[in-house]
Structure 1
Amino acid sequence: MEWVGDPRLAAGPEAAGYLEAAFTPGAQLGTVYDDPTTPVVVTGIEELTTIRVPSGRLVVDAPWHDDEVYNYQRGLPTPPPRELAVKIPPGVYPVEIAWTAGPYEFMGEHCDGIECAATRLCISDEPVVGWEMGLGVEDDTDRLQPGDKPRFYSDANVGCFADAGAWTALAAPFRTFTDGVPPPRNTEQLANGCERVRDASQHADLVTFGAESGGIVWLGRTKTGDIAAIVVTSGLPGAKA
């Protein structure tokens, strides 16, 4: 039986087109701001690293929020992270970044305009037949209003994928501040300023990526409804109401 999605969560044609094009090298994703003659082109897909998700429960959120750090330092409760309502098969998955280039000039200087178009967690190689917004466990589909785009927010323009079952240990390196300044973290440094945290006891990981002000989570579904990809975008046309 083929999958039929919830129309309240479905990506509209513009958003679906963006999500497909973002991971197609050579595809055009609009034009440079204030210069409709210069295209923004997908230059390549980079495999950043892999992530272990033994619980099958996935957090897609900022690795820390400013108010969380305040509470954490004072021994006060911190709110739970934004865990996705859907579950994935426990396993090890690649994390990929789609890069674009849109050259422009600023104050007489040439800039290459390299930016991250989207970040993807690859669950399977099955073709995606439809995209829908990825809700958190606290989100309620029945309360969605036309034009709503549930998302996570980030004070530091950083997002992460993480195993929800090991969240407390994985997020701990991001919650230590001294006089308001974070000391060097005990994390593995990846390309482009990204980081990975490994929890040996639970065989689980957290991987950070750039996410300007946070991001919207999209689920790529196969014809049977299984999840083939989880994609995070910061700026993107909205979902169909």
Structure 2
Amino acid sequence: MPMPAPDLARIFTPGLSFPYEWGGTGTVSLAAGGELWLPTGRLVACDPFVALGSGEAEPFTAAVPPGRYPVDLSVVTITRPGEPPTGTPHRRVAAARLTVRAEPPVSWELALVPGQDAAELADGEFYGYGVDAGTGCFYDAACDDSFPASEDDEGPLWDAFEAADWAPGPYTITDPDTGHNVVAFSSGWGDGAYPTWVGRTARGDIACFVTDFFVVPPESGPAPG
């Protein structure tokens, strides 16, 4: 069976504290990311510095009604034993969530792009998007052309992160001509591959999408860090 969904509601619990195996402690807070406009309802999640504006990132097969939907982040502040407080706390984005309905999900499934089949995954495997620049994002499939490729060290997305000394985010970038926007954020510990989950209500409607960056450990033990 593919990797089961973690307790995603727990990851978004403000004040949740947990240990890391090296002795540090993580504490969860939430950060609002504004509203994402989905003019087609087809959501894309990717590393924007790799795929945004390239036409290569595919939207998930699970689509929602067109509209504007809030995005928030689970941000973990990490403290180390004996470390005095500083003006620049160590923060990592644990997960990013786009909420479609204000209803608690009762089931979770992997968000898939065309050609992917969860039944083909072996035990513990998952589909996810690759990160090569320490960053993730959400945007609508129709918005890709509004943002030229961002792999070079230029453009509004780069400027937003650079101006904030690469703080975790979220950052909302909007094209003034079309109104298309992107919500971007740093990706947990950095580069890797990360799954996005679809949460569904008791009626089977999509309640939310959540990308997990593997920062919050399961309740059964500490995170490796």
Q: Which amino acid aligns with 2:80?
A: Y
Identical aligned pairs, as a percentage? 27
User: Which of 29, 32, 39 does residue 47 from structure 1 map onto?
Assistant: 32
**Structure with max Cα Rg:** 1
Please show how residues 197-216 of structure 1 align to structure 2 within 5 Å: 197-199=173-175, 202-211=178-187, 212-213=190-191, 214-216=193-195
Aligned partner of 2:67 in structure 1 is 91
Q: Aligned to 2:49, what secondary structure does the other structure show?
A: coil
- TM-score under structure 1 length normalisation: 0.73
Per-residue deviation, residues 165-187 of structure 1 (Å, max 9, x unmatched): 221223x1514x3xxxx13x135
Aligned partner of 1:219 in structure 2 is 198
Aligned partner of 1:22 in structure 2 is 11
How many residues were matched structurally? 205
Q: Which structure has more strand as a fraction of its residues?
A: 1
Aligned partner of 1:75 in structure 2 is none
Q: Which amino acid aligns with 2:27?
A: V
Per-residue deviation, residues 125-178 of structure 1 (Å, max 9, x unmatched): 0121122211122312342222111110111111110110221223x1514x3x
Please show how residues 180-195 of structure 1 align to structure 2 within 5 Å: 182-183=153-154, 185-187=155-157, 189=160, 192=167, 193-195=169-171
Instruction: Identify unmatched segments of 5+ residues in structure 2.
Output: 219-225
Q: How far apart, CA to CA, are the structure 1 residues paired with 2:131 and 2:104?
A: 31
Q: Aligned to 1:166, what secondary structure does the other structure show?
A: helix
- Contact residue 31 and residue 102 of structure 1 kept, 8 A: no
Aligned partner of 1:5 in structure 2 is none
Aligned partner of 1:124 in structure 2 is 101
Instruction: Identify unmatched segments of 5+ residues in structure 1.
Output: 1-7, 73-77
- Quickly say closer, same or farther: Cα 1:101–1:166, change in 2 above 3 A: closer
Per-residue deviation, residues 62-81 of structure 1 (Å, max 9, x unmatched): 1132xx69xx9xxxxx5620
User: Which of 101, 112, 137 does residue 160 from structure 1 map onto?
Assistant: 137
- Contact residue 32 and residue 104 of structure 1 kept, 8 A: no
